[in-house]
Chains A and B, each alone.
Chain A
Amino acid sequence: MIKEGADLVVARPGAALREIDVQIVADEVARMVQEANYDLNQDVIDSLHKGLAGEESPAGQEILRQIIQNAEIAHGERVPICQDTGFAVIFMEIGQDVHFVGGSLEEAINAGVARGYTEGYLRKSILKDPLKGGNTGDNTPAIVHYDIVPGDKVKMKILPKGGGSENMSAVGMLKPADGVEGVKRFVLDRVAQAGPNPCPPIIVGVGIGGTFDKVAYLAKKAITRPVGQYHSDPDIRALEEELLSKVNDLGIGPQGLGGRTTALWLAIETHPRHIASFPVAVNIQCHAARQKDIII
């Protein structure tokens, strides 16, 4: 317990706090929201080529070629890959030895979003009031997740998340008796029901465990894992491989017009669960899987 009147901040002798001006954060956010929207990361581009090489449907092949061509145009001409330039979802891993100076961190993040979306000719898609509407005009506020970690660095990951694929996501509070088969059914049903809507080929993020809120966060975290990188736990990896293969057997294909390439990747994140609960979440990411990160 901290006694009233006691000093709340007591510097531990020898512990050096690293100061970071929030202006740096604002500048990086402004830059990264634009780059994320113009430049698809290489792992996603590679997976589109891999999908094209394995695609059996002629229409599917043509669509994948156009998606790749679209990414090249966006990169070359500095225009958004997709007109839905997303909700700015930002993951902040903040070293506990960092001290932010120069103003409010969250205000700086939002100032960066506003500047980046305006300067970069990105679409402003955020409504101020979920019931009454009214565009905020600068795509703020961002959705910010904060994690405090050891060290004196700040890791920022920016994910401009489109609405069409987000809408196809879901949380299920399964029964523990449903087991791993229940998880598989939930994921496959979700992707099948989503069909053409989330702009396949998609990336499927799956969360298993935790609580109602945690599991959705896990699924969102999962879609930020680079394409091609499996989970480090061999059992989870085996489940990722099985589910990806089954998702692609659904036949939804590029843009849902039929084909082999329904998903480019599927990643699972897990967390301990309550004895009574078995939460599962699916977060769907469209093929415009845009993200950028930086360590400050």
Chain B
Amino acid sequence: MAEHRLQVPLDDESVAKLKAGDRVFLTGTILTGRDTAHKRMVDLLLQGESLPFDIDGQVIYYVGPSPAKPGDVIGSAGPTTSGRMDAYTPLLIEKGLRGMIGKGSRSAEVKEAMKTHKAVYFAAIGGAGALIAKSIKKAEVIAYDELGPEAVRKLWVEDFPVIVVNDIYGNDLYEEGVKEYRRA
């Protein structure tokens, strides 16, 4: 298992060197989006309209942070379950989305889209939102403010810790890791 420090948004070269199981520290900017934001994005795309923000080459973090205390950048900000975004994700990947951060397994359709369009899926530690928030240096709502925790934010991150679950070569850490430790 390798360790990488990468700039986000991700370029082709960075994506190509990532393998399932690698630990990665991301620095740069990422977007946030979860259930309702995903539905809105896909509804717009299906109507042939453009999105209120650019997703080409971007990484989306599935998170609905808790409110920031006065003086803080953000509240707790750990990942939510990615599977709920599976229905919307293949289209977003087709439109240029390069990476996703969440927790939990992805559908066969999402994995196929990742292989075809060279996108990666990272896991952040679910339930470690207070710790993860330390690597978020700035947060700004860029769309759907009325959705509260579900609004789309741009996050400026420094050494944001993630693990590669699905790489562009079809490997899946959830399947491989569990096989190694299963006793039955």
Residues of A participating in the B interface, judged by any CB pair closer than 8 Å: 56-57, 59, 63, 66-67, 69-70, 73-74, 77-85, 121-125, 133, 135, 137, 164, 167, 195-197, 199, 246, 249-253, 255-260, 286-288
Contacts and interface: CB of A to CB of B under 8 A. Distances in A.
Contact of B76 (A79, A256, A258): A79
A201 to B, nearest CB: 10
B179 to A, nearest CB: 7
B180 A251 contact: yes
Nearest to B67: A121
A66 B128 CA distance: 7
A255 B75 CA distance: 22
A288 B126 CA distance: 9
B25 interface: no
Given A69-B131, A84-B64, A258-B178, A197 B104 contact: yes
B166 interface: no
A121 B67 CA distance: 5
Contacts, number: 162
B163 interface: yes
Interface stretch (B5-13, B43-51, B78-86, B93-101): B78-86
Interface in B44-79: 63-69, 72, 75-78
B76 A74 contact: yes
A246 to B, nearest CB: 8
A258 B176 contact: yes
Interface string B166-184: 0000000110111111111
Given A83-B76, A123-B149, A124-B148, A256 B104 contact: yes
Interface in B1-56: 1, 21, 36
Q: Which 9 A-B pairs have the closest CB atoms?
A: A258-B177, A251-B182, A251-B181, A199-B126, A197-B104, A70-B131, A83-B76, A70-B128, A123-B66
B139 interface: no
Nearest to B176: A258
8 contacts: A57-B181, A81-B129, A122-B67, A124-B148, A164-B104, A250-B184, A256-B178, A258-B179
Contact of A259 (B75, B133, B181): B181
Contacts of A259: 177, 181
Contacts of B89: none
B105 A249 contact: no
A38 B63 CA distance: 19
A276 B114 CA distance: 49
